[in-house]
Structure 1
Amino acid sequence: MVTLASALENAAERVPERTALVFGDLRQTYAELDATVNRVASVLAEAGLGAGERCAVMGVNTPGFVYALFATAKLGAIFVPVNPRSAPPEVAHILRDSGARVLVVDPALVQVATAATGQLDADAPALLCLGAADGHPDLLAEAVGRSAERAPSTVTERDDAMILYTSGTTGFAKGVLMDHHRLVWTGVTIPIGTIGMTEGASLVHVAPLYHSGEMTMMLIPGVLVGATHVILSHFDAATVLDTMERERTTIFFGVPTMYQMLLAEYLKRPRDLSAWRSSIYGAAPMPPEVAARLQETFAGVRLFSCYGPTEAGPSGFFSSPLEAVRRPEVTGYRAFPLMRVRVVDAAGKDVAPGEVGEVLLAGETVMKGYWRNPAATEEAFLDGWLRTGDLARLDPDGAMTIVDRLKDMIISGGRNIYCVEVENAVASHPSVADCAVVGRPDPVYGETVAACVTLAGGQALTLDELRAHCAELIADYKLPRELIFGPVPRNPSGKILKRVLREGMTTSTPQESRPKPR
């Protein structure tokens, strides 16, 4: 039986002097980390956090986030990470929905936290800070001087461990409930069983720790193998590369945009990254030209493409390094160990090669369900398989390529248009730095294609020029009919916020091209 708490305790007993955390000038061994977590757990227990209670934590990447995670696990409580960029109503929704007993926040977020708790109808959670803040207890200061002894625990791997709120790209977020078993197996199947995270690995954490990808694919499995965790508070390409060189880090996880920035910075000033062994990317497609340049520049690095929704751990399917470089447009070729994957039509029947269908997943890492939402849980499963809501094209060789969200597919004149196909064509234009495509209501065709484009520095682009470029790559009925310039809204994991984009486009003045009759 392995839980998050026992994983840390095992590492502290097995490799007590190995460096566990690096953050600025702070360097902590596993023995020191375990002792600190025990002290933090004592303070949380005193604040009213007990087995089965929820502890919400809203903070950027700091050691305090790690302490709070494992201290919550030691108490048998449920960890609820909160996006630190959330607005008060969004935080209030999570606190209300989860019924959090304790809220732990960075000092800089106290104002947001107090505004959120002020919107609650019931008793507000106890508010603790990861540092000094006027009028609020400092969790870390309170922990100093406490006993470092481990409290007796009866936590099992089937006990609830975490509620991961979905990004809310289509509305209010739902809480994905995970127990210790599911979280541990996510680490075993992806980074340990597939990517090659081994004893003594060194990981750089720059993607948000509160996000399921960074937490369950890097932090938790890293503790399982006794890895060194190098934490950066935010992404800056130069700082990341300098840190990777200095700390000799071996594994990096990020979204494709991060890799593009790292590549550009490295080409300006190379570093010694000879310790770098593996990389994982997901959440968005990797542009083929970027994948090719990454492979050419970092020849010794194994590049994995991974797909998996929060509801699955996030686990699903992947491409090996050779496959990811040879066909970067493909999302994945095979399921992770202990996972199964299907691509089905609207009737739930497996599609034939060449067809598009919804991705279904089943396996050890799939969620228990949505927290206190049985109706949504029932809707999320089909005969025991998790419905992802993602549409994928199944190739004859077994490759699966995500082409759209089921709810985002554009139907124009009775024809299905997959946004990702159009986005790939638009993104290949040399004047385009970023883009997103959505459907806009059309009185004749039902919907028409609208493209939101962020231009590369100093570039210009017209709708006719973009359509001429895309006409070489996609069918004419898929071509953008409207072109809007502006930043593409994304969540911290890199996913496009289509709902936000649609809302913003209602006030924009687009260039427009009416479709020809067909």
Structure 2
Amino acid sequence: MLSVAAVLAESALRRPDHPAVVFAARRITYRELWDGARRYAAALRERGIGPDDKVALLLPNTPHFPLAYFGVLALGAVAVPVHALLRADEIAYVLDDSGATALICAAPLLTEGGAAAAATRTPLLTVMADEEDPRAPRLDALAARSTPIDRHVLRAPDDIAVVLYTSGTTGRPKGALLTHLNVVMNVDTTMLSPFEVTADDALLGCLPLFHTFGQICGMNTCFRAGATLVLMPRFDGPGALDLMVREDCTLFMGVPTMYVALLDAARTDPRRPPLTRAFSGGSALPVALLDAFRETFGCPVYEGYGLTETSPVVAYNQKAWPLKPGTVGKPVWGVEVEIARAEVADRIELLAAGEVGEVVVRGHNVMAGYLNRPEATAEAIVDGWFRSGDLGVKDDEGYLSIVDRKKDVVLRAGYNVYPREVEDVLARHPAIAQVAVVGLPHAVHGEEVCAVVRTSPGATPGPGLGAEIVAWSRARMAPYKYPRLVEFVDAFPLGPSGKVLKRELVSRLGGARGREPEDGAPPPG
């Protein structure tokens, strides 16, 4: 028997007076946070919530998230975090698909959340309201008047703890069923390595807590170690740098877009936080960006790999082995990662080192399945292996490199072009601050390689710079790889985890518009 709720409960016993959460001027100790979570549990229980009931959480990065999250888990109920930027119809889909028995919604999100709850007839509870809100009872007010439950409900290892919805890149979002064992093992394993979180650490909590990276790697691992989580409701580079300096943050976790923003902020702010290590995930981190961050902030950046369906961590660069930039390291303890033949769907055919194929995973981290989707579960978990949908390769030393998403590979004139490989080269161009490579429809080649660029300070976007980038790329990449098209943007469309939404870029840009290059690409052969 175990429970994810023990992550907070045990640290409250070990170090009750240590700050668990810093939020603006508030410093909340572990005793106060666990007491508050048990009060939330009591208030929910009074409204009929119990074991196995699914409770949706539409909450930003404030202390209300851990209070509600651990309050739900303390009851033996199931937490269903909801992306805080969804619209009413999208929230209603999650509520309906999950069968949520209640929605806990922050007052600033009630316009969308309230409409979704009404449409699905889901009982609604609010937090963060200044006054009693006529639309729904205030859960935080009810909790303040409640007597904390005595102890959290113990669960079986294979009981469901959390339902996390995928981003829906291949259709409607699917609810990944994570068990108590999935989450507890991932937290315990990664706390020791790669994250090596100790009770003396302070982590900047800038990743959204409704997402698996911020929730499990960030919040849960931090609380398991008895460390301090410095919450940031909305990320921006200057604000994050200032907050890390003021709160003496030793640990940073972020996605590549956050690293770009911190480097931009560091150009005008000479202060540096006492960071000892940083961890990147969510999408590929160009090696040039990794090097720049290490030089600027004086700490190593460890890149890793995970998925919602794998609780989430699969592999990471870790201190136990030499850091290998450009890779996502080796599998974490208790997890196996191999490369399988991507075109074979009904069985797993493993490939040798050096061969590109689909990344497959098995171990304590693999989800129980997709909620209400047995066919999708059967397609995703084959012969005991989870099929990631990502293309990768392992070298002779066991280091994993992610080549790209299967769906993002550009097929130009019969040749596979892996966007990450092209992005890694382009990231070294001095005029490029950030780049995403996509394939645009082309009448002759099928698809054409297009570099979508946000320029560095001082660089002027336009046809002249675009031609220069094409020529620079042509000298450094094979003829079929380099981008013939360059488009400039002020900002990239981002998903909930900070990933660049390439499908949205393709939709915006439409068909290939650049002139046909003189040299062309070599014919398929």
Contact 2:186 2:313 in 1 (8 A): yes
Aligned partner of 2:13 in structure 1 is: 13
Shift, 1:384, TM fit: 0.5
Contact 2:2 2:154 in 1 (8 A): no
- Local SS of the residue matching 1:178: strand
State which of 312, 315, 325 in structure 2 corresponds to 1:314.
312
- Local SS of the residue matching 2:198: coil
Q: Deviations over 1:9-62 (max 9, x none)?
A: 222222122222211122222111111111111222233322111111112100
Distance in 1, matches of 2:186 and 2:498, equals 21
Q: CA 1:455–1:151 in 2, change beyond 3 Å: closer, same or farther?
A: same
Q: Please list, as runs of the form range in 1=range in 2, the aligned pairs for 1:85-484 lying within 5 A after superposition.
A: 85-120=85-120, 123-132=121-130, 133-150=133-150, 153-271=153-271, 273-274=273-274, 276-299=275-298, 301-320=299-318, 327-332=324-329, 334-346=330-342, 347=344, 348-457=348-457, 458-462=459-463, 463-484=466-487
- Local SS of the residue matching 2:209: coil
Contact 1:483 1:510 in 2 (8 A): no
Distance in 1, matches of 2:481 and 2:288, equals 23
Q: Deviations over 1:266-291 (max 9, x none)?
A: 353333533x3221111222232332
Shift, 1:151, TM fit: 5.2
Unaligned runs of 5+ in 2: none
- Local SS of the residue matching 1:4: coil
- Local SS of the residue matching 2:372: coil
Distance in 2, matches of 1:511 and 1:427, equals 21
Q: Deviations over 1:132-167 (max 9, x none)?
A: 445322211221121124256343333211001112
Unaligned runs of 5+ in 1: none
Q: TM-score, normalised by structure 1?
A: 0.92
Q: CA 1:171–1:432 in 2, change beyond 3 Å: closer, same or farther?
A: farther
Contact 1:483 1:512 in 2 (8 A): no
Q: Structure 1 residues 382-391 or 242-251, which shifts more?
A: 242-251
Contact 1:403 1:421 in 2 (8 A): yes
Q: Deviations over 1:58-92 (max 9, x none)?
A: 12100001101000001111101111111222211
State which of 489, 494, 498 in structure 2 corresponds to 1:494.
498
Q: Structure 1 residues 442-451 or 47-56, which shifts more?
A: 442-451
**C-alpha RMSD of the superposition:** 2.3
Identity of aligned residues (%): 35
Q: Deviations over 1:366-390 (max 9, x none)?
A: 1111111111111002211110010
Contact 1:338 1:363 in 2 (8 A): yes
Amino acid at match of 1:131: A
Q: Structure 1 residues 123-132 or 166-175, which shifts more?
A: 123-132
Q: TM-score, normalised by structure 2?
A: 0.91
Count of aligned positions = 511
- Local SS of the residue matching 2:249: coil
Q: CA 1:501–1:152 in 2, change beyond 3 Å: closer, same or farther?
A: closer
- Local SS of the residue matching 2:407: coil
Contact 1:87 1:112 in 2 (8 A): yes
Distance in 2, matches of 1:322 and 1:160, equals 32
Contact 2:277 2:301 in 1 (8 A): yes
Contact 2:462 2:488 in 1 (8 A): no
Distance in 2, matches of 1:218 and 1:305, equals 15
